[in-house]
C-alpha cells in the first residue's frame, strides 16, 4: 500500500468562546516511512469529545495535527503485534492516515455481534467514564436515585443505561431539547428527564423529577446543575464530576454553588476524575457490557457524521448540543 500523505486538521488559532471553522485548517502532510516495529493505519472512525474544547485553549499546539480517539485498519506493517488488516484503537485522530508504533495502538478484540465503533462509545472512553463514575467515584447502590446532567450526550446516554444495569431505583436526566428528553425516557430507560433550557430553574425541575431527593449525581455540566444537585441530594450522597460544559466556551470564572456548605451539612462526597487514570478498568468494562450489547439490553447511541471534511462541523455541533449519544465521524474506505 503506497500511501505517502495524510489529510489532517490543525488548529490555527485559540478560539474566543465557541469555536468557529476559521479556528481550524485542513492540510496535507507527508507520512514517514513505516519503521521497524511500526505500522501504517488508515483511520475509519474518529471521535469528537467535549474535553477537546479545553485542549484548544492551551494544550494543543497551533499548527500541529490534533489528537483524539480513533479506530483504524492496518494497511502496512513491520510489527508482528500489528498484523495487516487488523483493526486498532489509537489516539492519532483528526487525520486520515497515521504511522504508529505497537505501543501506540491496541488491536481490538473481535466480539461477535459488537460493532468496532463501539470502542469509541460504550466500550471506549465514553462508556469507561460512565462506568468508573458509577462504580469507583460515586459507587451506586441498589435502589438509589441517580441524576445525570447532559444525559443525552455520549457519557450521559452510557451512564443512564449503566445505572439501570447496576440496580438504580430511579434514573433522572437533564437534556437540552424536548426531543432529547423524549429519547431519554422513551428509548434509553430513564425514569424521568427534563429540558434544562425550558420552564423553571434546574433546581425546580429536578425537585419535580426526583421529589424524594437523589443519592448519586454524575455531572457533565457544572454551574447551575451542580448547585441543583447539591440542593436535592440526600445525606451521604456522592457526586462524580466528569465535565463542565457550561464553562468551556467562556472566559468568566463560574460562581461556586451558593449551597456549597451543604456538602458538609449533608456529609456529601464530591470527587472529580479523569478517565485516563482508570484505564485498568477497561477489561472489566468489556466483560460487563459485551453480553448486554449482544443481547440488546443496552443501546449504542452514536451521532454519526460522514466524511473527514466534516470533522470540524461534527466537533462544533457536539459542543452546541446537536448530538444525541456519542459524536463520531465515519471516514469510510476513502476518508
CATH of the domain at 33: 3.90.180.10
150 & 233 share domain: yes
Please report how many Cα atoms fall inside a 13 Å half-sphere around the Cα of residue 126, on the Cβ side: 31
> Which residues are 70's β-sheet partners?
46, 90
pLDDT tens readout for residues 200-225? 899 999 999 999 999 999 999 999 99
Mean pLDDT, range 49-64, rounded to an integer: 93
CATH number for the domain spanning 176: value is 3.40.50.720
104 & 160 share domain: no
- For residue 334, what pLDDT is reported? 42
229 & 131 share domain: yes
Say how far apart CA 255 and CA 142 lie, in whole Å: 34
Q: Are 255 and 226 in contact (CB under 8 A)?
A: no
pLDDT tens readout for residues 129-157? 999 999 999 999 999 999 999 999 999 99
- For residue 335, what pLDDT is reported? 40
> String of b and e for 255-293 (b: at least 16 CB within 10 Å)?
eebebeebbeebebebeebebeebeebbeebbebbbeeb
Q: Check residue 65 and report its DSSP letter.
A: B
- Split at pLDDT 50, 70, 90, the class of 226 is very high
Q: Which candidate, 334, 329, 333, places its Cα nearest to that of 302?
A: 329
**Residue 122 burial class via C-beta count within 10 angstroms: exposed 0-12, middle 13-18, buried 19 and up:** buried
pTM for the model stands at: 0.94
Q: Is 33 inside a domain boundary?
A: yes
- Domains held by the chain: number: 2
- Split at pLDDT 50, 70, 90, the class of 3 is confident
Final residue in a domain of this structure, among 261, 276, 291: 276
pLDDT tens readout for residues 258-306? 999 999 999 999 999 999 999 999 999 999 999 999 999 999 999 999 9
102 & 55 share domain: yes
- Split at pLDDT 50, 70, 90, the class of 251 is low
104 & 150 share domain: no
Q: Please indicate whether residue 247 or residue 179 has the higher confidence score (pLDDT).
A: 179
91 & 165 share domain: no
129 & 269 share domain: yes
107 & 219 share domain: no
For 195, the domain range is 125-276
223 & 258 share domain: yes
Q: Are 306 and 297 in contact (CB under 8 A)?
A: no
Say how far apart CA 194 and CA 4 lie, in whole Å: 50
Q: Is 77 inside a domain boundary?
A: yes
Q: Are 106 and 89 in contact (CB under 8 A)?
A: yes
Amino acid at each position: 500500500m503506497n500511501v505517502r500523505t495524510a489529510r489532517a486538521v490543525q488548529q490555527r488559532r485559540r478560539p474566543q468562546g465557541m469555536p468557529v471553522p476559521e479556528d481550524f485548517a485542513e492540510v496535507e502532510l507527508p507520512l514517514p516511512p513505516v519503521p521497524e516495529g511500526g505500522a501504517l493505519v488508515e483511520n475509519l472512525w474518529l471521535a469528537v469529545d467535549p474535553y477537546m474544547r479545553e485542549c484548544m485553549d492551551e494544550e494543543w499546539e497551533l499548527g500541529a495535527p490534533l489528537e483524539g480517539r480513533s479506530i483504524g485498519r492496518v494497511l502496512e506493517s513491520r510489527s508482528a503485534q500489528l498484523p495487516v488488516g487488523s483493526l486498532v484503537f489509537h489516539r492519532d485522530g483528526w487525520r486520515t492516515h497515521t504511522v504508529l508504533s505497537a505501543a501506540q495502538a491496541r488491536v481490538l478484540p473481535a466480539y461477535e455481534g459488537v460493532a468496532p465503533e463501539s470502542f469509541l462509545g460504550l466500550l471506549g472512553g465514553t462508556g469507561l467514564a460512565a462506568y468508573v463514575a458509577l462504580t469507583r467515584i460515586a459507587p451506586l447502590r441498589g435502589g438509589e436515585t441517580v441524576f445525570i446532567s447532559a444525559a443525552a450526550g455520549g457519557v450521559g446516554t452510557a451512564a443512564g443505561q449503566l445505572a439501570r444495569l447496576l440496580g438504580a431505583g430511579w434514573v433522572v436526566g437533564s437534556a437540552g431539547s424536548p426531543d432529547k428528553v423524549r429519547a431519554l425516557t422513551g428509548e434509553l430507560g430513564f425514569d424521568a428527564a427534563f429540558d434544562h433550557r425550558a420552564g423553571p430553574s434546574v433546581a425546580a425541575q429536578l425537585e419535580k423529577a426526583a421529589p424524594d431527593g437523589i443519592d448519586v449525581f454524575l455531572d457533565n455540566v457544572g454551574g447551575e446543575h451542580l448547585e441543583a444537585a447539591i440542593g436535592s441530594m440526600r445525606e451521604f450522597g456522592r457526586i462524580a464530576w466528569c465535565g463542565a460544559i457550561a464553562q468551556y466556551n467562556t472566559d468568566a470564572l463560574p460562581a461556586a454553588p451558593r449551597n456549597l456548605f451543604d456538602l458538609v451539612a449533608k456529609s456529601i462526597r464530591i470527587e472529580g476524575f479523569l478517565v485516563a487514570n482508570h484505564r485498568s478498568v477497561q477489561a472489566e468494562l468489556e466483560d460487563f457490557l459485551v453480553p448486554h450489547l449482544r443481547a440488546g439490553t443496552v443501546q449504542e447511541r452514536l451521532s454519526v457524521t460522514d466524511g473527514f471534511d466534516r470533522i470540524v462541523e461534527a466537533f462544533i455541533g457536539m459542543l452546541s448540543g446537536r448530538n444525541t449519544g456519542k459524536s463520531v465521524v465515519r471516514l469510510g474506505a476513502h476518508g
